[in-house]
Structure 1
Amino acid sequence: MHHFGAATLTDRRSSGMKITQKIMCSSVAAALAALAMPAGAQQFKPADELEVVVVTAQKRKEDPAKVAMSISAVTGAQLQAEHVRDITDLTRIVPNISFTAASGNGGAGPGTSNIEIRGISSTAGAATVGVYLGDTPVTVGNVYTMGNVEPKFFDIDRVEVLRGPQATLYGASSMGGTIKFIPNEPDLKDREFTTYTEASNTKGGSPNYSANIVANLPLIPNELALRIGVQAQHTGGYIDQVDGDGNVLANNINKISDQELRAALKWKPTRGLTITPSVYYQKIDAKDIAAFNLELPNYQAQKQVREPSRDTLLSPSVTINWDLGAFDLTSATSYFERKFDRTQNGSAYNSYSLSTFLTSTEDGGKAPPELIEAIAGLPSAVYLNNQVRQVSQEFRLASRPYDAAVSPWTWLAGTYFSRQHTNIIENDPIFGVTDTFKQFGFDIADPELLPDARPGQFPGDNSFAGAFHYREKQASIFGEVNYYFSPAVHATVGARYLKADTTLEQRNGNYLAGAGNNSSAATSSKAFTPKYAVTWEVNPANTVYTSVAKGFRLGGNNIFVPPTTCGPDLEANGLEAGPPDYKPDSLWSYEVGSKSRFLNNRLSINADVFYVKWKNIQQGVYLPTCAYTYNANAGDATSKGFEFDIKAKPLPGLTLSASGGYVKAELSNDQGIENGVVGAVAGAQIQGVPKYNAAINAVYNFAAFGDKSAFVMAGMQWVGASKGSLDPDQTDHDRPAYHTTDFSAGMSFDRYNVSVFVKNAFDTDTVIQHPQVASIVQGYRLAPRSIGVSLATKF
């Protein structure tokens, strides 16, 4: 067998860098060639004021300075300029939002991350953050280590991060807040084509690239327009797979490729009626996960089974907006389907767990020690095939905007219905297990050798087979009313009443399922989630507000925990069997904030403080011997902190920004540890919540060559220390603080914009998390430094 040594690894990486350099040179050459094109005659002049981004946080278009909540709105142009490619990048530039790389005892790859806002973090039960793609909810629960849906930042107008519970308008699971991906709408007037290409190289890894094209085509001027775009991206890997002797088996295994397609049609048959059907599709293929073994040299992983995944998202929708004069009617009909197929290396617990059921001849059993050792060393995979399908319908009626001459009242009312079906298929083969027993002269179905064994329990070497079907039905009515005591002061009262039914049908079998299980269970949840706010517009440039709101998560059913294999763990928690279900949890949030603009909108300062009381928290109880997890309501918590966002234009062309947040999120009693959650005592810090994060950014736009514009940009982000586990004995208990720095510079001329950039410029290599992947504690870090070039065009 040929082993790839250091020289081969170096040659490969040098080759990858040469390829990237060629791509970069081609992009730069194209941009420089464009300089020779005729230039416009106008002198470039930087904007004097800060940009105001209109938001739809309250399901109508508003100036964010007038909305009584903490909001961050990041435009598509800013995402592109700062080379923000995914949620993990976003968490470093938006206050009090964080992520955990692996949800539960698995993952650490694309599609498995958990998102947290304001310290409301849980990898068990229902999600704590709502995720929307336009008007389509794409929120999924914490089921079988399946993380949040993460739409790519493709053809995006803006991303809105709404902090604090949003249950009134966005329903269950928006406890910590809501993230909205707002796509660009078709333009009925102007034809436009845009392209974007980017190439970079990662230190010690393989090349990255991204390319997209978007066309806006008015088919009937002012009446019908089509917007369509496609994108392809590749993120190079930097982790190598090695064998037990340290020989490199594969280079840069954590490569990721993704493709996106978006099409939207905007039809305006009459002056007040707009119909917008659209479809979004994305596919993410990961060759392996971005986790490495802590005991090996940096960025190496030793595994018997590779861990690829494919995550696809399909979301067609139809939105109808109808201006009926006295009010607006909106209908949002949507469907989304997520298929998430992935492989985990299950050797550490499938093979090892099976070996623990054998009793050695040295201890009076029938199994030779050599057989036990051979079984424990067999490779095993966990094949997970997940599918989520949801149909939803929302109707909204909204009054006209406030007009003192017409009425002191404004209002919004609506109904929401959804049906979600989640299917999970799991198979856990232990490769060669039957033949290994035969080699030692034993029958794998011998109950005297393997307790409770019987024929047919390892079909095709499969040690576990399970099928789980979750169904959820929701129906709710909601509304908000605003009363203006004067044009400067108004009060808001809102509420949502929700009813949900959930069912779980499960079938599992084979040896590691114990006696097996075929069962179904159902639960129902009801919730009333009010909201109260008072807003005072001190003057047109200064607003203060206070709000009180309730958040809520649905309860649900637990998967079956086999008492035969998990008996000792259950007994240690005072249980004879796993709990059949878990209850809803809820919280109350109290917030005070201000939003101000000064110096003719050359300076803006937004700040708020908040206090949250969280009751009956849904938490996962991990059973270490059998590697099962069940959900339980265990304990209460408080979360308190603040956020700020400052932007300034002190000089023409110079824009400075600083934002950040602090949060102290702790358990407030010992109920968690009393229910088997290790380390869940009063004062324990909630997992996955950095105590602070902050970001500063400086952009200088200036004239170059008369009518051209150029810019230089620098940004730094800091993320504070956090806890990855409640258990102080776990490696992930203490997550360190870290920071990263980015630079970019570029020039615009005619229809072209070229830039060069450096991400993670000082190559921060802190191990920021220690995900437990199939019972193996591993390391996760920021991607190493990447240097690249991009070219954007508009025609």
Structure 2
Amino acid sequence: MAAALWAAPAAAQVLSLDLPAAPLGRQVIALGRAARISVVVPDRRLWARPVPALHGRYDPAAALLTIAKAASARVQPIGAASWRIVPTTIPAPTPRRLPADRVSQAEPAPDDVIVTASKREIPHERFAGDTHRVEGVELKLGGSGGTDRLTTRLASIASTYLGAGRNKLFIRGIADSSFTGPTQATVGQYLGDLRLSYNAPDPDLRLADLAAVEVLEGPQGTLYGAGSLGGLIRLVPNEPDLAASYGSATLGGALTAHGAGSADAQATLNLPIVDDRLGLRVVGTAAREGGYIDKPALGRTDVNATRIYGGRAAALLRLGDGWSAEVIAVGQRIRGADSQYADRDAAPLTRDAMVTEGFRADFAQAQLVLAGQLGAVRLRSTTGVTAHDLTERYDATPPGGPPQLFAQANRTRMTANETRLWQSAPDGSGWLAGFSYVRNDTRLRRLFGAPDTPLPTTGVANRIDETTLYGEAGVRMLPGLLTSAGLRVTRTELGGAGEDVPEFALAAARATSASRRQTIALPAASALIDLAPHTSLFLRYQQGFRPGGIAIDGDYVRRFRDDRVATIEAGVRTGRPRRDALDLAVTVARTSWRDIQADFIDPSGLPTTANVGDGRLWTIEATAGAVPIAGVRVETAATFNDSEIDEPSADLVHALTAGVASDVADARAQVLARLRQIPNIARITTRLGVSYDGQFGARALRLDGWLRYVGRSRLGVGPVLGQAQGDYVDTGLTARLAFGPVALTAGVTNLLDTQGNRFALGTPFTTGREQVTPLRPRTLRVGVDASF
């Protein structure tokens, strides 16, 4: 089996190594990353054999000899920078199989990166679609962070920047709403095989102790169902290691220009309880992000401080004969003292508001994962429960009026199961069959009035039961042609009702609050054509949908319908990222979006949700990477989105032009003039990244820098949400210098101290003040991390 494969420009370099005790395979992977060498371990049992820690200065060959000797193995050179590790004696064959969740490590060729989000664990070069993988070692550089780490590394992901635990994420131009309502997210977010939420915002879990984060672009409805219109973000956690005990800790502090200080901490512990049978892995995080927004009217400075506490624990039990059971528990608590927006025309980083606009978010999830094999067929079943609560406060003070507060609480409870069977071949062919069930209950309650005594106003409760059968098959029809097709059939039962509905609106609420059932089929098809070694062309067709529900309209409640997207895309890619001297990928996609669900401001001034019309979207994305000299990698990416809502709904025309235009045709023309493009998505986003892995004297040094330009976009639908945003440059630079098991880190974000405008919304109410959400000012962080 393959331990690691890296572009290897300097096999004779002397390295300062700090490799903890671990199975041989894990140590060789770490050495491969540090030395950029290729190592093959063909014996499965040797891969899992424990070896002691390796500290000191070694060239790659000497390090391999030391590791091999500790494992009773020998090293065979097979190239200038390639080796093979084999046992000193040839073991007798045994019928013992690898556990199911290790099989994927043994089967691929040495240069394969496996797209586990494909659910058939397809090698990247044989996956017909646009996918990105961000390794966990990259995410943890500079301390634990949240989803913002992904937005800085990928040009195709956008965020609303309302604050930690409040943001809505968008991929590839599929964006709907500016704030949290009853609509489901357009991006599916998963931890392992279980979705993090159904129709709540991004929980913004800390990206701590992860093997990687995988991002699939474009609709993923066939395999992932509702809510993955724009794409998918899948967190891949490190599972407990049953062979060795080790841990790590990180501590950091930061200073922000024009603001308060910050601090963060993280600790990870891996503990085998019964050797090769039972193990435990625990990670905990804590952070205080200092504020930088002032409120002169209240005499307060740096009001938007945020505290985040979270953790994850996993227990893995090997049941024998290739079967395993894993229990995973995740929890996080976010407390924001105030919002992070400012007034556009006031002094920089200030807001003239008379109320406190704090927020809090609580997230908890528990999973049970059963995995194994039935002959050559693999099985994985994941069952989980999720609780997600978000409470937000908004300034609703009218111009020249007394202070007013609007508060809303979104309470979500979800139960889910997914069970799938699959079989895959190294050439990308295979099949998959699965079943899933989701029960999601959401209650949205609202208060409005004086800050000290707000009164209940109309809210809604939505319930959905979703039962699904899905399948996919891949067939290599010709040596250079891999085709696949899939189908998902979902039966949904929707229900909803108004809460705190005024008496005069009760009759309408009862008429609206009815359950209904529908069956939805989502087909998919793709083709992958091999043009040359490591060069391919893919074609893909996919659909996605979101179910409807009940929304608030003033003092009333009303239904909104499900919406649906269909995307056809073509892409070409050549080279293997981080393996070849040059890699390039270009994708062109055309999306049709019907009955778009979106939020806007109703005539009473409150946010509401409706189907705003039909739209279309063209997307072009290009990414490229190069290794110009040993240890240096340069990455560039650019996305272009051209979108518009070309057929506004009658409800939207009426809501946005009430009392303004009497002629229907004139009203429709006014709405079309305001829409132009789908909100919250910049037409152009670009990114440039440069990284270096090498030596500083006798110490291992890593440098990572990036620059990201976000073009101009529109906040939302309608005149109140029509403000411009974007058109700014964000930057960052981080350095890490290792001293054996201890390393020092220094990093700067927003090097240019750009204020910018990431999001032109702080409160959806007309307060007489235009709003901007500035970037966090220039921030310097210094940290230390240690492994043991």
TM-score, normalised to structure 2, is: 0.80
Distance 1:721 1:48, change over 3 A: farther
Give the alignment's Cα RMSD to 1 decimal: 2.8
Please tell me whether residue 559 in structure 1 is matched to residue 613 in structure 2: no
Q: How does 1:249-398 map to 2 (within 5 A)?
A: 249-348=299-398, 376-377=401-402, 379-398=403-422
Match of 2:28 in 1: none
Match of 1:567 in 2: none
Aligned-partner Cα distance in 2 for 1:381–1:670: 32
Which of 426, 438, 454 pairs up with 2:446? 426
Question: Which segments of 5 or more consecutive residues in structure 1 lack a partner in the other structure?
Answer: 1-37, 102-107, 353-372, 433-460, 563-577
Once the two structures are TM-superposed, the CA of residue 668 in structure 1 deviates from its matched residue by: 2.3
Please tell me whether residue 608 in structure 1 is matched to residue 566 in structure 2: no
Please tell me whether residue 768 in structure 1 is matched to residue 758 in structure 2: yes
Once the two structures are TM-superposed, the CA of residue 279 in structure 1 deviates from its matched residue by: 0.3
Match of 2:39 in 1: none
Residues 542, 596 of structure 1: 8 Å contact kept: yes
Aligned-partner Cα distance in 2 for 1:629–1:426: 11
Match of 1:134 in 2: 192
Q: Which amino acid counterpart does residue 464 of structure 1 have in structure 2? A: P
Residues 553, 602 of structure 2: 8 Å contact kept: no
Q: Which amino acid counterpart does residue 434 of structure 2 have in structure 1? A: G
Match of 1:694 in 2: 686
Once the two structures are TM-superposed, the CA of residue 560 in structure 1 deviates from its matched residue by: 5.5
Equivalent position SS for 2:295:
strand
Please tell me whether residue 500 in structure 1 is matched to residue 492 in structure 2: yes
Aligned-partner Cα distance in 2 for 1:400–1:294: 55
Match of 1:479 in 2: 471
Distance 1:511 1:427, change over 3 A: farther
Which of 785, 788, 793 pairs up with 2:778? 785
Match of 1:8 in 2: none
Equivalent position SS for 1:781:
coil
Residues 507, 517 of structure 1: 8 Å contact kept: no
Match of 2:155 in 1: 95
Deviations 1:309-348 (A, max 9, x none): 2201001001111111220111010111012223333333
Aligned-partner Cα distance in 2 for 1:383–1:513: 21
Once the two structures are TM-superposed, the CA of residue 184 in structure 1 deviates from its matched residue by: 1.3
Once the two structures are TM-superposed, the CA of residue 497 in structure 1 deviates from its matched residue by: 0.6
Aligned-partner Cα distance in 2 for 1:184–1:634: 42
Once the two structures are TM-superposed, the CA of residue 513 in structure 1 deviates from its matched residue by: 8.1
Please tell me whether residue 64 in structure 1 is matched to residue 124 in structure 2: yes
Deviations 1:101-145 (A, max 9, x none): 3xxxxxx3433322111211111633211111221112332xxxx
Once the two structures are TM-superposed, the CA of residue 89 in structure 1 deviates from its matched residue by: 4.2
Residues 355, 451 of structure 2: 8 Å contact kept: no
Deviations 1:199-235 (A, max 9, x none): 1111011111111110011112222111011111110
Moved more, 660-669 or 386-395: 660-669
Q: Which amino acid counterpart does residue 549 of structure 1 have in structure 2? A: Q
Match of 2:7 in 1: none
Once the two structures are TM-superposed, the CA of residue 632 in structure 1 deviates from its matched residue by: 2.9
Deviations 1:661-703 (A, max 9, x none): 1111112234465354566427711100111211111122222
Deviations 1:455-508 (A, max 9, x none): xxxxxx544344532211100110101111134321100010111112112231
Equivalent position SS for 1:720:
strand
Aligned-partner Cα distance in 2 for 1:303–1:762: 28
Equivalent position SS for 1:338:
strand
Moved more, 213-222 or 718-727: 718-727
Please tell me whether residue 40 in structure 1 is matched to residue 56 in structure 2: yes
Which of 560, 565, 579 pairs up with 1:587? 565
Match of 1:410 in 2: 430
Residues 93, 659 of structure 1: 8 Å contact kept: no
Question: Which segments of 5 or more consecutive residues in structure 2 lack a partner in the other structure?
Answer: 1-53, 64-79, 83-109, 658-669
Equivalent position SS for 1:77:
helix
Deviations 1:697-735 (A, max 9, x none): 1122222333x21133321111111111344x5575322
Which of 698, 704, 722 pairs up with 1:713? 704
Which of 245, 259, 266 pairs up with 1:212? 266
Once the two structures are TM-superposed, the CA of residue 580 in structure 1 deviates from its matched residue by: 2.7
Equivalent position SS for 1:301:
coil
Please tell me whether residue 656 in structure 1 is matched to residue 634 in structure 2: yes
Please tell me whether residue 86 in structure 1 is matched to residue 125 in structure 2: no
Residues 685, 726 of structure 1: 8 Å contact kept: no
Aligned-partner Cα distance in 2 for 1:627–1:527: 35
Deviations 1:533-562 (A, max 9, x none): 011233442222111111111111233543
Q: How does 1:512-591 map to 2 (within 5 A)?
A: 520-559=513-552, 561-562=554-555, 580-591=558-569
Distance 1:289 1:516, change over 3 A: farther
Match of 1:439 in 2: none
Aligned-partner Cα distance in 2 for 1:688–1:271: 51
Match of 1:444 in 2: none
Q: Which amino acid counterpart does residue 367 of structure 2 have in structure 1? A: S
Q: Which amino acid counterpart does residue 488 of structure 2 have in structure 1? A: R
Moved more, 659-668 or 627-636: 627-636
Q: How does 1:240-255 map to 2 (within 5 A)?
A: 240-243=294-297, 249-255=299-305
Aligned-partner Cα distance in 1 for 2:552–2:648: 25
Once the two structures are TM-superposed, the CA of residue 63 in structure 1 deviates from its matched residue by: 2.8
Aligned-partner Cα distance in 2 for 1:512–1:93: 52
Aligned-partner Cα distance in 2 for 1:310–1:168: 34
Once the two structures are TM-superposed, the CA of residue 384 in structure 1 deviates from its matched residue by: 2.7
Residues 251, 783 of structure 2: 8 Å contact kept: yes
Match of 1:458 in 2: none
Q: How does 1:189-204 map to 2 (within 5 A)?
A: 189-204=243-258
Residues 732, 769 of structure 1: 8 Å contact kept: no
Equivalent position SS for 1:60:
coil
Q: Which amino acid counterpart does residue 777 of structure 2 have in structure 1? A: P
Residues 474, 484 of structure 2: 8 Å contact kept: yes
Aligned-partner Cα distance in 2 for 1:117–1:250: 37
Number of equivalenced pairs: 668
Please tell me whether residue 74 in structure 1 is matched to residue 127 in structure 2: no
Aligned-partner Cα distance in 2 for 1:279–1:610: 38
Q: Which amino acid counterpart does residue 586 of structure 2 have in structure 1? A: A
Residues 507, 516 of structure 1: 8 Å contact kept: no
Residues 209, 283 of structure 2: 8 Å contact kept: yes
Residues 615, 643 of structure 2: 8 Å contact kept: yes
Once the two structures are TM-superposed, the CA of residue 383 in structure 1 deviates from its matched residue by: 3.5
Aligned-partner Cα distance in 1 for 2:222–2:506: 44
